[in-house]
Amino acid sequence: MNIRIEPHTLLRANERGASEDEIIETINQGSDLIGKLGRIGKSKVFDFNNVRNGKFYEHKKLEVFYVIERDSIVTITVYVFYGKF
């Protein structure tokens, strides 16, 4: 299925420390989530082992929410959480 990453999703990804490749990998390989208003989500934990906002984090977890329109996955937004998962 085609993945269409909306500009809003890329803006939020940039603000929150996620890449376009990580979004695609989360959609393709992540665990299922149930979102609000009939939205579908996927979650995936990535090794981070880096500093963000002055604090060291071992992992980052992406949650990508999307809808399916015809034959395409259309992203709504991405959330990024830092910690040890």
How many C-beta atoms surround the C-beta of residue 68 within 10 A?
Answer: 12
The count of domains in the chain is 1
Q: pTM of the prediction? A: 0.92
Residue 38 has a pLDDT of 74
Residue 37 has a pLDDT of 81
In this predicted model, what pLDDT tens digit does every residue of 10-44 receive, in sequence order? 999 999 999 999 999 999 999 999 888 878 999 99
The whole domain housing 49 covers: 2-83
Residue 36 has a pLDDT of 83
